[in-house]
């Protein structure tokens, strides 16, 4: 195996890529190891041992530095939900499976590779 096949595009990791989710949902997701989320987590997780507090910090960080946009996301009333990092954080708390979906996509290295495989 050529080692270059494992390389990702660092700009894509930071700027994010559009991912097609279920039922027409599109998410713009940055890699969960990008420098902004890492810096945020280091800063906010100092001296924190409480699991619930760490989970809330993780959701806040992902809302600010990993989930960068969405399209075709509606609320219970059927109306489009406008993207904002505050709304993302709220949805992560209210709908844990939505957070899990973003974590899954942001962890998929293949999404952040160039079209030619590196």
Burial of 106 (0-12, 13-18, 19+ CB in 10 A): buried
Alpha-carbon distance of 18 to 25, in angstroms, equals 10
Tell me, yes or no, whether 32 lies in a domain.
yes
pTM given for the model:
0.89
Tell me, yes or no, whether 60 lies in a domain.
yes
How many contiguous H segments (helices) and E segments (strands) does the chain have? 5, 3
Tell me, yes or no, whether 79 lies in a domain.
yes
Residue 47 has pLDDT above 60, yes or no: no
Q: How many domains does the chain have?
A: 1
Residue 88 has pLDDT above 80, yes or no: yes
Q: What is the predicted pLDDT for the residue at 118?
A: 46
Tell me, yes or no, whether 1 lies in a domain.
no
Tell me, yes or no, whether 10 lies in a domain.
no
Domain hosting 97: range is 18-111
Contact call for residues 32 and 62 (beta carbons, < 8 A): yes
Residue 52 has pLDDT above 90, yes or no: no
Tell me, yes or no, whether 13 lies in a domain.
no
Tell me, yes or no, whether 117 lies in a domain.
no
Q: Which of 66, 69, 72 is closest to 104 using CA atoms?
A: 66
Tell me, yes or no, whether 63 lies in a domain.
yes
Alpha-carbon distance of 68 to 46, in angstroms, equals 25
């Amino acid at each position: 195996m050529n080692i270059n096949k494992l390389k990702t595009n660092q700009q894509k990791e930071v700027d994010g890529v559009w991912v097609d989710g279920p039922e027409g949902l599109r998410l713009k997701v940055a890699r969960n190891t990008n420098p902004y989320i890492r810096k945020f987590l280091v800063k906010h997780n100092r001296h924190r041992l409480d699991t619930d507090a760490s989970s809330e910090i993780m959701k806040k960080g992902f809302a600010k530095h990993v989930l960068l946009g969405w399209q075709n996301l509606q609320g219970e009333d059927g109306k489009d939900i406008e993207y904002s990092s505050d709304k993302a954080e709220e949805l992560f708390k209210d709908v844990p499976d939505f957070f899990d979906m973003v974590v899954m996509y942001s962890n998929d290295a293949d999404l952040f590779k160039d079209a030619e495989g590196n």
